[in-house]
Structure 1
Amino acid sequence: MTLRRLVTGLKIGTVFVPIVAVIAQPAHARDRNVEIAPYIEVQQVLVADLNNGTDVLTYTSVAAGIDASIQTRQAEAQVNLRYERRFFYSDGLGDDDIVSGLARVGVQLVPNVLSLEAGGIATRSRVDLRGAAPTNTVGQTDNVTQVYSVYAGPNLSTNIGALDVNANYRVGYTKVESEETGPLPPGQLPIDIFDDSISHSANASVGMQPGELPFGWSVSGGWEREDADQLDQRFENKYARADVTVPVSSTLALVGGVGYEDIEISERDAVRDANGDPVFDTDGRLVTDPTSPRLLSYDQDGIFWDAGVLWRPSRRTTLEARVGQRYGSETYYGSFGYQPNEQTSLNLSVYDTVSGFGSLLNDNLASLGTSFSSNRNPLSGELNGCAFGQGSSLCFNDVLQSAASSSFRARGVNAQLAYNHQGWETGLGIGYSRRNFFASQLGALPAVDGLTDENYYANLFVGKQIDARSSFDTNFYANLLDSGFAGAPNVLGIGANAAYYRQIIPGLQGTAAVGLDSFKQDGFDSELTASALLGLRYDF
């Protein structure tokens, strides 16, 4: 029996907080554990609008996907990818294609020194927080768009004598397909929607652990940049900082740091018509004026600091909490990781960062480890928003609450609990996020500058292996959305579903599922839909 050390973490601002899990594992499993399961599905689905009993939609779904888990000496990977084609029988509805998936890969190029990591996600996002909040995305669904994001880059971690040397770089690309918000509350105008962006992130540090000196220290620097197509927006952050760690006991240490950073966010104006109003293209997005000078929407430079405590009472428990001054005001952030056994894992993070839509999505992907479970809605086949693992868990609700194009300051708290025991599999994710947007008062989006939106969310997954041939799972989810726009009502979306799975013959599985979804928006008729599904899945 050997011990396998899983290292992952949470990137909070420019600080990477490690979470370490040590799991007992046989030596042969350490050498190679590869599971690759391609599959195909055929499903018949019925969706009924319970607020309008005559509105019933049926369609056939054909899907192909792959679930893969790879654990070897040189590589770790988790891939869950699915393509679905929906064939509708109702007039006015065209057939639909949906790609959804989540992947994280890590490869050791030079063992314990140089590695390459990559990640990707394909999922749905809400377009505008003021619009509809459908949880069952079937048919002519308003205010929902397809999102794709990928990243890749190398990591260096080594020692030079007593010095710890670390460096990493990654490049990412994010694309939002649609800008259709659907009906908005009276008097509300559409906001500009994110299109695509390329982001870069580079960090390097050198330091020493307590031992040779009565304290530990590190010096680090970093650079982040995101170039978005929409209004040629540019986010750039450069920083340098020094940190110290002063042990108080064998399990408790005081930590603190001071640094200097320069953050600049800028955009160009939109093309204007004869009346001076911004011009929109056929996709509903603002047309960028390439001759416009750059307009500053955020410019913050100067000294920042933070201080706090680091508590590690055991290898399975880590707590770090810091308070300081940054981004022109007080800042609070930290993390808590607890894994009392192989069946239970609790992760909590409090974050405060300035970012753009693409950069934050890449950050979230990079924070997720290479061993996780990403369950799907059994009726729509789409990801449920959270991924749960023993080393790390993560929910994407904070970044996918809307696809606004402007950069923002994001603050919030996320918590995830994973529990697996005697055939039961449980995952709970809850959180709150708050984004304060930046835009130039001289540009095309002055109303967005200073806008603050909020999102409260909860996701619960419970599954059980009944016997060798059957299992079931249930999902519960809820969102309360406040767009921050004057006169725009809050939007509440809730839903639940349950599915039963039965192996018919080796490789062939039958599925039966039901669901109930609702959202309520003041000023509009509330929506309540019921869904039912019968399907077959064959695993090769």
Structure 2
Amino acid sequence: MRRVREASTSFAVLTTLALLLVPAAGHAQAGGQSGMGASASSASASSDGTSRRSERGKGRGKGTKRLEVAPYIEIDQIVTAELSPGDDLLTYTQIAAGVDASVQGRNNGASASIRYQRQFGWGRKAGDGDAVSGVARGYATVTRGLTLEAGALASQVDVENGGSALVAGPLSGDGTSTIYSVYAGPSLATRAGDLDVSANYRAGFTRVEQSDGARDAQTAAAADVFDKSVTQSADAQAGFAPGTVLPVGLGVAGSFNREDISNLDQRTQDMQVRAMVTVPVSRTVRLVGSVGYEDVEISSRDVLLDENGLPVIGSDGRYVTDKSAPRELAYDVSGLTWDVAVMWRPSRRTSLSAHFGRRYGSTSFGGTLAYAPSDRHQFNVTVYDNISGFGGQLGRALEQLPDDFEVVRDPITGELRGCVASLEGGNCLSGVLGTVRSSTFRARGVSASYSLELGRLSAGLGAGYDRRRYIAAAGTILAAANGVIDENWWLAAYVGGSLGPDAGWSANLYANWISSNDPFTGDLAGYGASAGYYKLLAPRLRGTVALGLDGVSYGAPSIDDLWTASALAGLRYTF
């Protein structure tokens, strides 16, 4: 009953956020927004929410509003056959309720897909269970230059040894953990004469609800899994565009990022100030140089020990923090930073920014590429380098999702499949969800996505690489994680279309290859493919049939691979 109450509460929270986002965007159609001058935004800050929002608002520009809200109920019959290592045949009845919503206007937009489902197993081995999943993302123009942005995510994952995570499969059962994340905050972009000014603030909360099935049967200890964190970030910048007061642009900026993680009271704090010069090279190319100062600290407390000198494990299976212990520094870097960037924008359909410099006490580089050869094609690449915990990394990825999307779900489990269908910006979360270790880390990686719409056909492909090097204080129980490297190669694809006015089809696949140099963590890979067909049987009533294949391959020869095949037949009524 506890899981049912928690899932129901989470569903209510996500649904409330979705409903708040959609009307808010619809009520603010009269507002406008002004963008920052190039002198006040270097390529190294191109992922800033203010800059992206300014471009999105201007890109619509048709003054029309599209509002779609589709609540539904669903009942499905599912059969799952274990192909390896066993041969169990399990049957479930699944009841679900959800809502898909979207509103898009001149300067406002929001999309959401929220779903709660309950499974009833037939027989002794087919257990009951429930789950909430969904994603909501949007912004509303409060007044000219001032916007409010918010987003939320709920997703199920299978947590393996060492905190590696895969998309929840049809036989996940009690081993499934649920990830919840939410963020919100305002963004401001305005001008004071020739001076461009922008600022934003974001606050977020992330939690991983670890299942009882993921605990050690003898010690009741959970795997090294992130619990929860609160994140805060703020950015402010001001500057003159080239050609206003000088032939070159001048600007100053500052940023603050902090994440407080409940696991052993970890804290990541990053403060930076910088001055920037923008040099126009041509009509389409600008060079940006910046120099500044940063102060980055990572700290934690140690575990509470019992009278025998053994770590105390709480009722949730995680280590209990010794609040009386002093805070131990794991990472302390401060000093000069510099950055050189190039920004290229030959047309409104193509933009590139790339930067190279020194941050976190070492070489740092990154950039973004966006290419849309037509209104029906979109290609995006992001290269990143940052320091955070799991909550901060997930919040960044959630903020970078587009505000106009359709969720890609597994037709069997109803779970999110890592990417959303959209012809806007970066649209995948797969790289973030590959590991859920509790320790902070430095993440470097690349993510690429391609989306297209051709007549009745829509398709998308996402792929990427995420590398995390964990940081922990010496002399504490976290010390074993210091220097551990997790690598996650991932792939996600979807395709679908209509077959006339009352029928359609869809297919998707995913793959994750996760490796670690942690001797207690084995390499593993997860694979999945599914296909579905639907047909309207009556107005608002849809029938669906679907097939799916899922597998987990373990690097350790002592662990058998797990493969399952599933089939579904169901009915959905949309109100």
1:173 is the counterpart of 2:208? no
Tell me what 2:6 maps to: none
1:84 is the counterpart of 2:117? yes
Tell me what 1:148 maps to: 180
Give the distance between the partners of 2:519 and 2:86, measured in 1 at CA. 35
Tell me what 1:304 maps to: 337
Give the distance between the partners of 1:132 and 1:237, measured in 2 at CA. 26
Letter in 2 for 1:90: G
Letter in 2 for 1:125: V
Give the distance between the partners of 2:67 and 2:215, measured in 1 at CA. 48
Residues 128 and 402 in structure 1, CA contact (< 8 A), matched pair in contact too: no
1:227 is the counterpart of 2:246? no
Give the distance between the partners of 1:402 and 1:194, measured in 2 at CA. 9
Q: 2:242 aligns with which of 207, 210, 215?
A: 210
Give the distance between the partners of 1:125 and 1:329, measured in 2 at CA. 34
1:232 deviates by 1.3
1:101 is the counterpart of 2:150? no
Give the distance between the partners of 1:181 and 1:304, measured in 2 at CA. 46
Larger deviation, residues 432-441 vs 272-281? 272-281
Q: 2:47 aligns with which of 9, 16, 29?
A: 16
Give the distance between the partners of 1:372 and 1:342, measured in 2 at CA. 15
After superposition, the Cα gap between the structure-2 partners of 1:134 and 1:225, relative to the gap in structure 1 and judged at 3 Å, is: closer
Tell me what 1:428 maps to: 461
Q: 2:472 aligns with which of 432, 436, 439?
A: 439
String of CA shifts for 1:396-449, please: whole Å, max 9, x gaps.
Answer: 122211211111100000001010111111110000000011111121111101
Give the distance between the partners of 1:390 and 1:6, measured in 2 at CA. 23
After superposition, the Cα gap between the structure-2 partners of 1:127 and 1:54, relative to the gap in structure 1 and judged at 3 Å, is: closer
Give the distance between the partners of 1:6 and 1:391, measured in 2 at CA. 20
String of CA shifts for 1:368-399, please: whole Å, max 9, x gaps.
Answer: 22112221011110111112322213211222
1:306 deviates by 1.5
**Counterpart secondary structure, 1:375:** strand
Normalized per residue, which structure has more strand?
1
Give the distance between the partners of 2:166 and 2:393, measured in 1 at CA. 23
Residues 194 and 403 in structure 1, CA contact (< 8 A), matched pair in contact too: yes
1:138 deviates by 2.9
Letter in 2 for 1:533: L
Give the distance between the partners of 2:133 and 2:496, measured in 1 at CA. 21
**Counterpart secondary structure, 1:399:** coil
After superposition, the Cα gap between the structure-2 partners of 1:109 and 1:192, relative to the gap in structure 1 and judged at 3 Å, is: same
1:200 is the counterpart of 2:227? no
Q: 1:401 aligns with which of 412, 426, 434?
A: 434
Residues 224 and 237 in structure 1, CA contact (< 8 A), matched pair in contact too: yes
1:265-304 aligned within 5 A: 265-304=298-337
Give the distance between the partners of 1:479 and 1:64, measured in 2 at CA. 29
Tell me what 2:498 maps to: 465
1:110-149 aligned within 5 A: 110-111=143-144, 113-128=145-160, 130=162, 135-141=167-173, 144-149=176-181
Give the distance between the partners of 1:388 and 1:442, measured in 2 at CA. 46
1:252 deviates by 1.3
1:277 deviates by 2.7
Residues 12 and 353 in structure 1, CA contact (< 8 A), matched pair in contact too: no
Letter in 2 for 1:150: V
Tell me what 1:531 maps to: 566
1:333 is the counterpart of 2:372? no
Tell me what 2:29 maps to: none
**Counterpart secondary structure, 2:84:** coil
After superposition, the Cα gap between the structure-2 partners of 1:56 and 1:345, relative to the gap in structure 1 and judged at 3 Å, is: same
String of CA shifts for 1:443-501, please: whole Å, max 9, x gaps.
Answer: 11111011110000000101111211111111111110012212643211111110001
Give the distance between the partners of 2:136 and 2:192, measured in 1 at CA. 33
Residues 126 and 401 in structure 1, CA contact (< 8 A), matched pair in contact too: no
1:483 is the counterpart of 2:516? yes
String of CA shifts for 1:211-264, please: whole Å, max 9, x gaps.
Answer: 222222321111111112221111111111122221111111212211211111
Residues 133 and 491 in structure 1, CA contact (< 8 A), matched pair in contact too: no
Residues 324 and 330 in structure 1, CA contact (< 8 A), matched pair in contact too: yes
Letter in 2 for 1:343: R
**Counterpart secondary structure, 1:269:** coil
Normalized per residue, which structure has more helix?
2
1:182 deviates by 4.5
Residues 132 and 182 in structure 1, CA contact (< 8 A), matched pair in contact too: no
After superposition, the Cα gap between the structure-2 partners of 1:382 and 1:538, relative to the gap in structure 1 and judged at 3 Å, is: same
**Counterpart secondary structure, 2:407:** coil
Letter in 2 for 1:449: N
**Counterpart secondary structure, 1:171:** strand
Letter in 1 for 2:536: Q
1:258 is the counterpart of 2:291? yes
Q: Percent identity?
A: 43
1:24-63 aligned within 5 A: 27=62, 30-52=63-85, 54-63=87-96
Give the distance between the partners of 1:287 and 1:351, measured in 2 at CA. 33
Tell me what 2:4 maps to: none
1:127 deviates by 2.9
1:407-418 aligned within 5 A: 407-418=440-451
**Counterpart secondary structure, 2:501:** coil
Tell me what 1:377 maps to: 410
Give the distance between the partners of 1:82 and 1:134, measured in 2 at CA. 20
1:135 deviates by 4.4
1:329-368 aligned within 5 A: 329-368=362-401
Give the distance between the partners of 2:146 and 2:191, measured in 1 at CA. 12
Residues 136 and 517 in structure 1, CA contact (< 8 A), matched pair in contact too: no
Letter in 2 for 1:38: P
After superposition, the Cα gap between the structure-2 partners of 1:308 and 1:214, relative to the gap in structure 1 and judged at 3 Å, is: same
Tell me what 2:548 maps to: 515
Letter in 1 for 2:260: D
Letter in 2 for 1:503: L
1:75 deviates by 3.6
1:330 deviates by 1.2
Larger deviation, residues 300-309 vs 137-146? 137-146
Extract unaligned runs of 5+ from structure 1.
none
Letter in 1 for 2:181: S
Give the distance between the partners of 1:428 and 1:515, measured in 2 at CA. 19
**Counterpart secondary structure, 1:364:** helix
Residues 168 and 202 in structure 1, CA contact (< 8 A), matched pair in contact too: yes
Residues 386 and 393 in structure 1, CA contact (< 8 A), matched pair in contact too: no
Residues 12 and 351 in structure 1, CA contact (< 8 A), matched pair in contact too: no
Tell me what 2:3 maps to: none
Extract unaligned runs of 5+ from structure 2.
1-31
Give the distance between the partners of 1:193 and 1:127, measured in 2 at CA. 8
Letter in 2 for 1:350: V
Give the distance between the partners of 1:430 and 1:129, measured in 2 at CA. 24
Tell me what 2:189 maps to: 157
1:308 deviates by 2.6
After superposition, the Cα gap between the structure-2 partners of 1:512 and 1:258, relative to the gap in structure 1 and judged at 3 Å, is: same
Letter in 1 for 2:105: T
Residues 158 and 168 in structure 2, CA contact (< 8 A), matched pair in contact too: no
Give the distance between the partners of 1:73 and 1:253, measured in 2 at CA. 29
